[in-house]
Structure 1
Amino acid sequence: MTRPRLPLLRAASRLAAFAAATAGVLFAFAVPANAAVPTGRYVALGDSYTSGPLIPTQVDLNCLRSNRNYPSLIAASVGSSSFADVSCSGATTDDILNGGSGQLGISLPPQLSAVNAGTSLVTVQIGGNDIGFSGIITDCAQASLSSPLGSPCKNRYTAGGVDQLRARIAATVPKVTAVLQAVRRAAPDARVVVLGYPAILPDSGYGCWPVVPIAYQDVPYLRGVQKALNTMLANAAAANNASYADVYTPSVGRDTCKSSGTRWVEGLIPQNAAAPFHPNARGEQGMADALLAALNN
């Protein structure tokens, strides 16, 4: 495939003349070991929210993958007998099933190829790029740069009486289902956990324009879209013999509008080392904690 990669990062770059690799304060965390977590082979599948673009240290520049993302934290904590993190920035469900290319244009095999019959744990975080999140961020931010009033983003995506973003989520259901079924065929005995996405915008209220340039009335609309995406992922997990890790609930109060020492997800101009509108090291730690909680249920 030849489509552009990491669209969120490119979109943010077009909106702000700021280096995405802005240095920030890093936080060291430890994930407590727990005997209930599978300790055999662990394979992590996913997109940039899994890979951790621009969080030091980047160990794969083609996929912008950090060794401090939540899969790495989990693997180190529980002592996985073997570990394969094949998450990649810009990935869609198609990249998991059929392969693609990374940020440097280097071809990649299907992420699924890392899963085998001896795998005991598979985590999956996918779907954001399938609904075109990069375009959503670009459209909504550009429409609101000059004024926070109104709901230009909602108006665009609901023109004609059809909510295009909800329709995209519905269209992604069979794609996520296909991924989970393929994982189950490849690793019949594995524990499979689907992760949602952490809060990008505040869980209540109207945001923090111009720090995050989303119009006041668009904030509730986009919040609803993200919650609908997470609900879809939870339902897909339940329908396909997988667990669901809710990373949204623990991230409430840690969104892009919060201080640099609190937020899990960076805004348009990162103040911690991370890509714009992506989790920082604190966010990856928070998702690791949520994953452990799901594994213990």
Structure 2
Amino acid sequence: MPHRPLARALAALVALFTAALGAVFLPGTAQAAATVNYVALGDSYSSGVGAGPYDWSGCLRSQKSYAPLWAAAHSVTSFRFAACGGAVTADVIDDQVAALSSTTTMVTITIGGNDAGFADVITSCRFGSTSTCTDAVNDAKAFATATLPDRLDATYAAIRQRAPNARLIVLGYPRLFETTSCGWLAMSVYKRTILNEAADLLATVIAGRAGAAGATFVDTRPYFAGHGVCGADPWIRDVSGVIEAYHPDADGYRYGYLPALTSVTG
């Protein structure tokens, strides 16, 4: 008789432990815990420009971009690829956030480079004089510090509004150049240096606004170190294609962007 309360307590403890194990290993529960509804937003650095081949959407989306590669490797519940080459912050707000919903659990984005005039700056430096390049870079840096922050804030807020339950991951841009010698047709070391400095400033601005929005910022520059234009093993295209110039190639997305994203998601 005196032992019955203890026996009942032990039995209750065993039942509780068994129920807990059942909750952990029950197939439906495990599937619910692993649910990932992923939406990839952003510009050409997310759509996969430079990797090819592209779909027929007009957005130059490639399955070799980091977003579909990540989705394939993680067996996501759903994946929507809304990133579009040439996109600016207004395009994300006006068009791309429509892909989001309250069931979205993860959002990635690269944005801001086109707002700051990425294409015009690169063109000015690649084909213009040193002074033309310097002026273009300085204009872009001024825009990045004075105007871009508000645009990024509005973009991240729009994402939060449409996908309040999602983790927002903001990926930065790589440095495009190595400053080693790479032939007389290449841009000068000075031009490459100031372009890299502009990339550093852009990374600082984007990281700051992402942090203010409660998003996770992923700095991709370390992952591309040594693999810029003029490197021994470049993952950034030079002027090999008008549209693809100065974008990552397939290796850049697979070995640069994808590991960078995986570093914060597992």
TM-score norm. by structure 2 comes to 0.81
* Of 136, 143, 166, the match for 2:141: 166
The answer on 1:189 being equivalent to 2:165 is yes
Residue matched to 1:175: 151
Letter in 2 for 1:120: T
The unaligned stretches of length 5 or more in structure 2 are 1-32
Distance 1:174 1:216 in 2: 33
Q: Which residue of 2 aligns with 1:56?
A: 52
% same residue: 32
Partner of 2:68: 72
Aligned to 1:267: 238
Paired position in structure 2 for 1:95: 91
TM-score, normalised to structure 1, is: 0.73
Aligned to 1:121: 106
Contact kept, 8 Å, 1:199 with 1:265, in 2: the verdict is no
- How much has 1:250 moved relative to structure 2? 1.2
Deviations 1:238-289 (A, max 9, x none): 1001001111111010001124xx222111126xxx8111111111112011
Aligned to 1:41: 37
- What letter is aligned with 2:123? T
Q: 1:216 aligns with which of 169, 189, 205?
A: 189
**Given the alignment, which residue of 117, 137, 149 partners 1:132?**
117
The answer (yes or no) to whether the contact 1:48–1:87 under 8 Å persists in 2 is yes
**Which letter maps to 2:237?**
E
* 2:229 partner SS: coil
Runs of at least 4 residues of structure 1 off by over 6 A? Answer: none
Which whole-Å CA distance do the structure 2 matches of 1:249 and 1:70 have between them? 16
Q: CA deviation at 1:216?
A: 2.6
The structure-2 alpha-carbon separation of the partners of 1:81 and 1:155, relative to structure 1 and needing over 3 Å to count, comes to closer
Residue type of the partner of 1:66?
A: S
Q: Determine if contact 1:209/1:216 at 8 Å carries over to the other structure.
A: no
Match of 1:255 among 222, 228, 242: 228
Residue 26 of structure 1 corresponds to which residue in structure 2? none
Q: Which has the higher contact order (CA 8 A, sep 6+)?
A: 1
Aligned residue for 1:58, secondary structure, equals coil
Verify the 8 A CA contact 1:206 1:220 in the aligned structure 2: no
CA distance in 2, matches of 1:111, 1:127: 14
Distance 1:288 1:39 in 2: 20
User: Which of these residues, 253, 257, 261, is aligned with residue 287 of structure 1?
Assistant: 257
Which whole-Å deviations, capped at 9, do the CAs of 1:38-91 have from their partners, x for residues lacking one? Answer: 741100001111111253332234111101110000111111101001111110
**CA-to-aligned-CA distance 1:106-150 (integer Å, 9 cap, x gap):** xxxx10000110000000100110001111011111125xxxxxx
Residue pairs, 1:1-40, within 5 angstroms:
39-40=35-36
CA separation of 1:179/1:85 partners in 2, compared to 1, >3 Å: closer, same or farther?
same
User: What is the alpha-carbon distance in structure 1 between the residues aligned to residue 235 and residue 174 of structure 2?
Assistant: 8
Cα offset, 1:294, TM superposition = 2.0
Of residues 198, 202, 215, the one that matches 1:225 is 198
Contact 1:206 1:216 in 2 (8 A): yes
Match of 1:199? Answer: 175
CA RMSD of aligned residues (A): 2.1
- The one-character-per-residue Cα deviations of 1:205-247 (angstroms, maximum 9, x if unpaired) are 36635443x2332222111101100111111111001001111
